[in-house]
Structure 1
Amino acid sequence: MLSLCLLSLLYLSTLGVTHPGSHDEGAYFRSLASSRSVQDARQKLARCSDHIKRSGVDARAAARRTAILNSYRGIPNAGTVSTSPRSFLPQAAQSSSENPSCLLTPESTIGPYWVDGELIRSNVTDGEPGILLTLDGEFIDVDTCEPVEDILWEIWNCNATGSYSGVQDFGHHHDDDNSNLDKTYLRGIQRTDKDGAAQFTTLFPGHYPGRATHIHVLAHVGATFLPNNTVTGGHVAHIGQLFFDQDLIAAVESTAHYNTNNVRITSNTQDGIFNDVNSATGYDPILSYTRLGHSLEDGILAWTTMGIDLSASYKAESAATLTDHGGVAHFHGWFIHQLGAREILVWVVGLGLVFWLTRSFRQFCLRRA
């Protein structure tokens, strides 16, 4: 009987390894990043840097970010935010990243927490506690080197303690808590303007097992607005993940709400996705940033530029759908799609164990009858 208990515990513990937030995600990213279409997009975008400087895109982006910063600080006009944010930050939270004018953005994995049917809105905080993050992003067409208007930019990230809204996340945070399916915090969609830009007010993400701190991004092209403030149709032309400077992460994680999470932090260099995107020629996955006020708790302004191939079309598999009547989970896709040979073997052995235990219990009951 003791051996049966040990076998059962071994099986249950291995299920946690199959959670789609670690090496499986990295393997899927590598298959995308090595594709011919992504390689072509990188080469095209490499030629865009000088053009976007000459066309004034850089200057307008600096002015836009300065206006955002000044609106928070209550300053009518105080110069511009340069692409190097160091002068705005204390030594302990300086960014090691000076992003180039145009990022060569590999298409990284969508991950297991995307929810389709999210709302068009800029403020996605929904009253969650944490440090406010104003995120400014712009999209550049890799073929024309021009900003792309009317892209529907979607983001989602976990909260201060590492939980995602809108999903039924078996074995991670929410177990079988159906109420989480109806939550929408830290998820939303915005339409880009004539400069290819859009902004979100979200929260600085927390962390969870196996992944560095990150934000997911997705771009819909040719989608249609619906009366219920959602979008439909079109195609997904970009999937990506944005990361943060490690010193900034450490500073945020020491503040209230974030420091209640006892899960071990995975650093950027320990994250498979980060290492893969960082090794792509010319791409810097770390957001530039500055403080919005005198202290970190006053909030952060972060920004990035994303290259997009409008002709690209990627399969976006959702973990759930947000409907007018609440969230609906999809138990398919990511969990099954990402299973490798080891995980399949675990499931086969586990199912065999369950069958054997059921059969043994039935025989035991018959002998006692």
Structure 2
Amino acid sequence: MVQLSKVLAIAAACLATPAIAHPGEKHDPHVLKRQIHARDVMAAAGKRSLGGCESTLHARELARRNVARRAHTVQKLREKRGITSAPQKYRRNLAALEKWEAIDHNRTDAYQHGVINQESIFGANTSCILTPTVTDGPYYVWGEVVRENVKEKLYSDGVDVHLEVQYIDINTCHPVPGALVDIWQANATGVYSGISTSGNYAAGGWDSTYLRGIQQTNQDGVVNFDSIFPGHYDGRATHTHLLTHLNATLLPNKTLEVGSGSVAHIGQLFWNEVLRSAVEATYPYTSNTQAITTNADDMWSVLQADASYDPFPEYMYLGDSLDDGLFAWIQIGINAMADYTDNSYYSIAAYHDANGGHENSDSSAMGGGGGGAPSDSMSGMPSASPSASS
């Protein structure tokens, strides 16, 4: 196994003071240190694998399609919103981490006077390796519906974000088509839908579904979601969850068949502090009373972000203010041959079926002893495949 020489300062700090996240998200600091180290090792190996084939013909053709697609997406988003002004970003004094976050990811400056420098902006890829050792958190819900727009009429106000995620197999450098990708995040006031437990009582409780959904990757390994910039909550840096299923069965009611397929990737996208500060100066983020945790203080050691482990999406302002929304994109390298269904960090807190949302009493996140994929034998789980939630 590849060895890394760098010292994980944040992981070491975790040994002295275990971080606290949502109630139910508990981690042994010694295990956490090992998992962060394993993540970095896998990230470095995956980055080298991608680097070895990025000059191939199919990789260059894919890169050209990426540039054209992203430029077209921004054009359509701007037209849809009636935006004619040139995008503009906020600038602030940056520390070392913020420099990596903001300068290396904010592509707004390359758009000048209504003319897109396509290669400069949309050719940027982080080739992010988000290893499955990054926990899915305690609030993953099985049974969400396939939809691109995960915003709902209630509890979804905030700065609009159109997010494009592209999956590349690190073994082949080819896109991963047909993957079913779950997305979920907290709303502007730091509350997740689908969960009703101490520290996170969602309006609508277990039946709520806002800011959750599933999309299937196309031939270029791409999914798109219309969401909002996530809100913060006590104990974790601002982030968006992603979980990728391969060979899973999509039911006619637009949900996944219980227990089908593999879990090839579990990851979290983080958002830079400069952008987060600008967003949270707007309503309804200003009504969020929970404590803010910076990326540097996050339990998953986001401070270690570099060219190999880069969980920050590229982004640009669609117009001259956040009112116009953001376009964000990221390329994620995954091992399509892996299956993390039995990984200790894959935990299902709840599920949706024809009768609405229900707590998974076996979930370790909710106080039970288990985790992993749902099955008919799990107590509290349905014996039939779930239906679309209301």
TM-score bracket, shorter-length normalisation: 0.7 to 0.9
Say yes or no: does 1:221 pair with 2:226.
Answer: no
Distance between the aligned counterparts of 2:277 and 2:283, measured in 1? Answer: 13
CA distance in 2, matches of 1:26, 1:278: 21
Matched, 1:198 2:223: yes
- Give 1:259's aligned residue: 286
Runs of 4+ in 1 over 6 A off after TM superposition: 35-39
Q: Which residue of 1 is the match for residue 88 of structure 2?
A: 89
Give 1:160 deviation, angstroms: 0.3
Q: Aligned AA for 1:123? A: N
User: Does 89-98 or 117-126 show the bigger shift?
Assistant: 89-98
Does the aligned pair in 1 maintain the 2:21–2:234 contact within 8 Å? no
Q: Which runs of 5+ in 2 are unaligned?
A: 1-19, 81-85, 93-100, 106-123, 371-390
User: 1:66 deviation in Å?
Assistant: 1.3
TM-score, normalised by the number of residues in structure 1: 0.76
1:27-176 alignment, distance < 5 Å: 27-28=31-32, 30-31=34-35, 34=38, 41-51=46-56, 54-74=59-79, 88-92=87-91, 95-98=102-105, 100-107=125-132, 108-127=134-153, 128-168=156-196, 170-174=197-201
User: Structure 2 CA distance, aligned partners of 1:149 and 1:17?
Assistant: 34
Larger radius of gyration: 1
SS in 2 for 1:146: coil
How far the C-alpha of 1:132 sits from its partner, in A, is: 0.9
Return the alpha-carbon distance in structure 2 between the equivalents of residues 185 and 116 of structure 1: 14
Deviations 1:305-363 (A, max 9, x none): 01111111113321000111100102331254799xxxxxxxxxxxxxxxxxxxxxxxx
Aligned-partner SS, 1:225: coil
Q: CA deviation at 1:22?
A: 6.8
TM-score (norm 2): 0.72
Q: Distance in 1 between matches of 2:205 and 2:264?
A: 28
CA shift in 2, pair 1:116/1:322, >3 Å:
same
Q: Distance in 2 between matches of 1:208 and 1:56?
A: 41
Q: Partners in 2 of 1:206 and 1:125 — Cα distance?
A: 14
Q: Which residue number corresponds to residue 333 of structure 1?
A: 364
- The amino acid that maps onto 1:249 is R
Q: Deviations over 1:66-94 (max 9, x none)?
A: 1111112119xxxxxxxxxxx94324379
Distance in 1 of aligned mates of 2:200 and 2:26? 16
Q: d(CA) in 2 for partners of 1:227 and 1:70?
A: 33
Structure 1: tracts of 5 or more residues without a match = 1-15, 76-86, 340-369
- Please tell me whether the aligned partners of residues 25 and 338 of structure 1 are also in contact (alpha carbons under 8 angstroms): no
Instruction: Return the offset for 1:278.
Output: 2.2
Correspondence for 1:309:
335
Q: 1:323 to 1:158 in 2, by over 3 A?
A: same
User: Percent of aligned pairs with the same residue?
Assistant: 35
Q: Which residue in 2 is equivalent to 1:230?
A: 255
> Which letter does structure 1 place at the counterpart of 2:234?
P
- Give the Cα separation in 1 of the matches to 2:275 and 2:21: 29
Cα distance in structure 2, aligned partners of 1:324 and 1:227: 13
Give the letter for the 2:311 counterpart.
Answer: P
Q: Which residue of 1 aligns with 2:352?
A: 322
The amino acid of 1:275's aligned partner reads V
CA offset at residue 40 of structure 1? 5.0
Q: Sort the Cα spacing of 1:57 and 1:63 in 2 relative to 1 into closer, same or farther, 3 A.
A: same
Are the counterparts in 2 of residues 290 and 301 from structure 1 also a CA contact under 8 Å?
yes
Q: Which amino acid aligns with 2:312?
A: I
User: Offset at 1:47?
Assistant: 2.4
Distance 1:25 1:72, change over 3 A: farther
CA distance in structure 1 between the partners assigned to 2:256 and 2:192 by the alignment: 21
Residue 305 of structure 2 is aligned with which of 273, 278, 283? 278
